[in-house]
Structure 1
Amino acid sequence: MALLGSFAPTGTRPIRWYNYAAYGSNDILGAGSMAVISGWVLIFYTTFCGLEAWEAGLIFTVARVLDAIASPLIGHFSDSLAGTKVGRLIGRRRVFLLAAIPLLPSFAIMWVSGQSFWYYLVTYVLFELVYALEIIPFETLAAEMAKDYKSKAKFAGIRILFAQASAILAGFLPAMLIEALGEDSADTFLYMGILFSVLFMVTASFLYLCSWERPPEEVMQVRGNGEKASLGASFKALYRNLFSTLRIRAFRLHLGMYLGGYISQDVFNAAFTFFVVFALAGSISVASTLLGFMYIVQFVAVMIAINLALRSSPARAYQLAAASFAIGVIVLLLMWSAGVRSGDALLWVPIIFAGLGRGALNYIPWATYNYMADADEAVTGRRREGAFAGVMTFVRKLTQSAAVAGVTAIMSWGGFQSAATVQSDQAIMTLALVLGIGTVGMLIFGVFVSTKFKLNAETHDRLMAQIDRFKQDPDAAPIDQETKLLVEDLTGWRYDQLWGKNNVV
């Protein structure tokens, strides 16, 4: 196995099972850390650290805003390293992986109980920045290693399968540790943080050893006179370059679907554990078991979604997934209003529906993301995977921080009392409304956007065929009228403005 090679001519290196496995396993960091944080950090902060709900929300907001600033910088910087010595020697993406590996234990130090607000703010911000340093380059590697639709779909599929496996661990592990340490032990979360930190370092190292990038000469930024752009000149165009990605129609629609599917889960995750403990009269252990089982269902749902997205279309699969998740949330709330409480077997019904929807919603946006740089290439004639990864993370972090801050603010407004063993009827009703309206509302938004999204296996093949024609002749006529209209729909630009004949960058 030639594990250590950074570069290979695109299309000449076969993708082996261990390359797929290495790429996918890294989402133990990408999704696993977020599953732990979204499921447990609010409970940890308010129950074991003495923070108020609004203080916990403020930590999220500050960390995500700072990270949202750093993420585009990392994405743009990685795009700009192709012609540098470091980029040629290690790789413009993989150098970031190498730098992040020794910093990943920052996840564990978040979970030390009994510290001040400022300790939790600083440690959370630190991990978010390390997370961005590793994840943004990782998100570009599928497009670096593969060109065809099916290979990219496989990369996305194996990634989300690992993500769901790590989420299962994040769901069940607290319950197992609680059984060993006791219901009131804060060490539950510290040991969980240590275990995940070790997994993060192992999988990031595996990815570094088993990945490669497009050769530098294929992706080098070139100006009209053939002169390479300097790093300094590249940075002057930073924000123009980054936010020009939003001028690609397929990417705007993709972001809408992504945010609809993921923010709905942010709201659900932020409220669910509290809902189980206070509305359903359960416990942290019960919430852990329910989440763990939900993640098992999500794992199965990803495998179903992979086949459905390949055989039908990502948009149709998305719509079915959103409907399933919404049904699960609505049924859960109806059962609660009818008097169903923790321990009732009927609770597994909404958990199954929600898990089936959430699993597919996790997979589909990441499957379509791998094709966004292709639509952009038709417009700009350049490969800008890093810019897309940076902007995607920027938008995601800002909206996620807003979602979590919004949930915690509404909880506080509704009368939620930190560290209380019993909450008022008003506080519980507020939790229920957040869980229902917030989750289902974002799903409706995502479904509306998906009705306009036309990218699938067939349309991607047509797009790539037209790009190949542009590479042979920048003034090439469209293959046919149908292809012309399709490329215009995916890019959002008239045909005569494609392949750099525009002011996008």
Structure 2
Amino acid sequence: MATAPISQPRPVRLINYLAYGSNDVLGAGSMAVISGWVMIFYTQFCGLEAWQAALIFMVARVLDAIASPVIGHISDNMGDTAIGRRFGRRRFFILAAIPLLPSFAIMWVAGQSFWYYLVTYVAFELVYAAVIIPYETLAAEMGKDYKTKAKFAGVRILFAQASAILAGFLPKWLIEWLGKDSPDTFLYMGILFSILFMLTATFLYLFSWERSPSEVAALRPKGDAKPTVGSAIRNLYRNLFSTFRIRAFRLHLGMYLGGYISQDVFNAAFTFFVVFALLGSISVASTLLGTMYIVQFIAVMIAINVALRNSPARAYQFAAVSFAIGVITLLLMWNAGVRSGDALLWVPIVFAGLGRGALNYIPWATYNYMADVDEIVTGRRREGAFAGVMTFVRKLTQAAAVAGVGAIMSWGGFVSGAKTQSPEAIHTIASVLGIGTIVVLFCGILVSLRFRLSSATHDVLMAEIDRLKAGDTSAPTPEARAIVEDLSGWKYEQLWGNNPVAGIRR
């Protein structure tokens, strides 16, 4: 294996942090709008049944889940092309997607057919993936040390929560302007967010960077030919799913999915719960969601400090418990007769928001170190592969979660377009909100008990990588050996390319 030169990192300035973070207005903002409002839009304003809305969501996410790993793999190898050398192997995708981002707005045109909504949703998901997959690699490209990467993740999630606040409150403001029964509420929201997406993607492109082509090329084993399109396709899924052989990444995925799928289930059911169980309105649901996102914003700032100073796994556990307390309290209050307008509702909203904010931040903070763990196993940098797998798994599970909510609601007697629902349908919505959310959270907590990546262990990992890059073949200290073997899941003698994972071509 070639010994890669240890390059001096470029200084990361405030504008670089802001540019990187701002793009999660697209990443999290669009998902906040979709998870909070697309089901209610399709069923209450477009005449679709709950199962049809869920099917659209599932088909779009499955197709996107197939495309996302392809984009990740291509971005890992695009530095060998003229386009990649001119615009960046990651950043080219971001630049090319900017004029396509208004595809988000056309999703929200009321009165169209099932096929219209399916095609427009799929189109946006593909554009979204073309931006987000390369974007998710840039923190690992631009920063090396633990604190820099944690700051990238923190700024990103702060922007994400700010966009989620807007996604929560914007429908309420538009309803007050357009009237409560106007479907144009969602169209105008789509237009406004599309403009924001284009601005932030441009900002990101202008103030971000990647590893130089020479540094990337130095990590390719001697004798490896430049990858062709054919070889990329042949090795695609073997390369991508080799990431599952990295122990820290497997555990990270479990925590990530536990935190995010629990929120998918909650978001898909929450608006229906407010409208039909709490006897509120879309405007009330908008207010509650917006307030929850404000609390999440505060929680992210707390979580940044906790994750920098303590174990991310411990912070994750506290966050999951807080979210669960909020969900349980909400259901107990509803069962006790609390309804829309009661001030007591703010109690579960605060608990849920505190937990959700930290759950949003922690997985993305730890994700930025996964390529480091992989590097000591393979001797290569495969940020794109990890980003592709993250999105692939996330989209498949999110599709299953939301489609499951829609299917269960239909099975429970939910009637699309109805002003009221039967007691059976309402209890089904409440059961999905409670049981579905808490079961997934519990699974995430179980996984977090085995996750040991922290600032201290990451420092040891990076010191070992630098030592191996410098050609030092002496034995590691017992402490370094134990830490690296725990994070990687491999014996020390098998690291730095001496394993089957490293033999998978890029």
For the aligned pair, the TM-score class normalised by the smaller chain equals: over 0.9
Partners of 2:9 and 2:144 within 8 A in 1: no
Q: Which residue of 1 aligns with 2:387?
A: 389
Amino acid at match of 1:295: Y
Shift of residue 226 of structure 1? Answer: 5.7
Shift of residue 227 of structure 1? Answer: 4.5
Partners of 1:80 and 1:231 within 8 A in 2: no
Cα-to-partner distance string for 1:253-310 (whole Å, 9 max, x where unaligned): 0000000000000000000000000000000000000000000000000000000111
Within the candidate set 75, 95, 100, 1:98 is matched to 95
Amino acid at match of 1:97: I
Shift of residue 135 of structure 1? Answer: 0.5
Within the candidate set 272, 275, 279, 1:274 is matched to 272
| Aligned mates of 1:47, 1:10 — CA distance in 2 | 56
1:351-390 counterparts in 2 under 5 A?
351-390=349-388
Q: Which residue of 1 aligns with 2:492?
A: 495
Partners of 1:10 and 1:146 within 8 A in 2: no
Task: Report which stretch shifted further, 481-490 or 67-76.
Answer: 481-490
Q: Which residue of 1 aligns with 2:128?
A: 131
| Aligned mates of 1:198, 1:349 — CA distance in 2 | 35
| Aligned mates of 1:263, 1:330 — CA distance in 2 | 17
1:62-101 counterparts in 2 under 5 A?
62-101=59-98
| Aligned mates of 2:181, 2:224 — CA distance in 1 | 65
Amino acid at match of 2:233: F
Partners of 1:223 and 1:229 within 8 A in 2: no
Amino acid at match of 1:391: V
| Aligned mates of 2:37, 2:227 — CA distance in 1 | 45
Q: Does 1:301 align with 2:287?
A: no
Partners of 1:281 and 1:341 within 8 A in 2: yes
Q: Which residue of 2 aligns with 1:36?
A: 33
Q: Does 1:21 align with 2:18?
A: yes
| Aligned mates of 1:263, 1:12 — CA distance in 2 | 35
| Aligned mates of 1:106, 1:112 — CA distance in 2 | 11
Q: Which residue of 2 aligns with 1:175?
A: 172
| Aligned mates of 2:162, 2:203 — CA distance in 1 | 17
Shift of residue 86 of structure 1? Answer: 1.2
Name the count of aligned residue pairs.
497
The secondary structure found in structure 2 opposite 1:81 is helix
Provide TM-score, normalisation by structure 2. 0.97
Q: Which residue of 1 aligns with 2:451?
A: 453
Shift of residue 231 of structure 1? Answer: 4.6
Amino acid at match of 2:146: Y
1:190-339 counterparts in 2 under 5 A?
190-220=187-217, 222-225=220-223, 227-339=225-337
The secondary structure found in structure 2 opposite 1:13 is coil
Partners of 1:470 and 1:476 within 8 A in 2: no
Shift of residue 85 of structure 1? Answer: 1.2
The secondary structure found in structure 2 opposite 1:183 is coil
Amino acid at match of 1:201: M
Q: Percent identity?
A: 76
Partners of 1:222 and 1:228 within 8 A in 2: no
Shift of residue 12 of structure 1? Answer: 3.7
Q: Mark the runs of 5 or more structure 1 residues left unpaired by the alignment.
A: 1-8
| Aligned mates of 2:384, 2:296 — CA distance in 1 | 29
Partners of 1:11 and 1:146 within 8 A in 2: no
Q: Which residue of 2 aligns with 1:399?
A: 397
Amino acid at match of 1:334: L
| Aligned mates of 1:45, 1:457 — CA distance in 2 | 45
Partners of 1:414 and 1:426 within 8 A in 2: yes
Cα-to-partner distance string for 1:206-242 (whole Å, 9 max, x where unaligned): 0000000001111126234365444533332111110
Cα-to-partner distance string for 1:72-95 (whole Å, 9 max, x where unaligned): 000000001122211111100000
C-alpha change, 1:288 and 1:489, in structure 2 (3 Å) is same
The secondary structure found in structure 2 opposite 1:436 is helix
Partners of 1:10 and 1:215 within 8 A in 2: no
Partners of 1:32 and 1:170 within 8 A in 2: yes
| Aligned mates of 2:228, 2:420 — CA distance in 1 | 61
Amino acid at match of 1:336: W
Amino acid at match of 1:209: L
The secondary structure found in structure 2 opposite 1:318 is helix
| Aligned mates of 2:227, 2:187 — CA distance in 1 | 47
Partners of 2:220 and 2:380 within 8 A in 1: no
Shift of residue 474 of structure 1? Answer: 6.6
C-alpha change, 1:381 and 1:474, in structure 2 (3 Å) is farther
Shift of residue 476 of structure 1? Answer: 4.0
Q: Does 1:57 align with 2:57?
A: no
The secondary structure found in structure 1 opposite 2:80 is coil
Amino acid at match of 2:334: W
The secondary structure found in structure 1 opposite 2:79 is coil
The secondary structure found in structure 1 opposite 2:136 is helix
Amino acid at match of 2:248: A
| Aligned mates of 2:289, 2:380 — CA distance in 1 | 42
The secondary structure found in structure 2 opposite 1:80 is helix
CA RMSD of aligned residues (A): 1.2
Q: Mark the runs of 5 or more structure 2 residues left unpaired by the alignment.
A: 1-5
| Aligned mates of 2:95, 2:405 — CA distance in 1 | 36
The secondary structure found in structure 2 opposite 1:82 is helix
Partners of 1:300 and 1:359 within 8 A in 2: yes
Q: Which residue of 1 aligns with 2:3?
A: none
Within the candidate set 130, 142, 145, 1:148 is matched to 145
Amino acid at match of 1:330: I
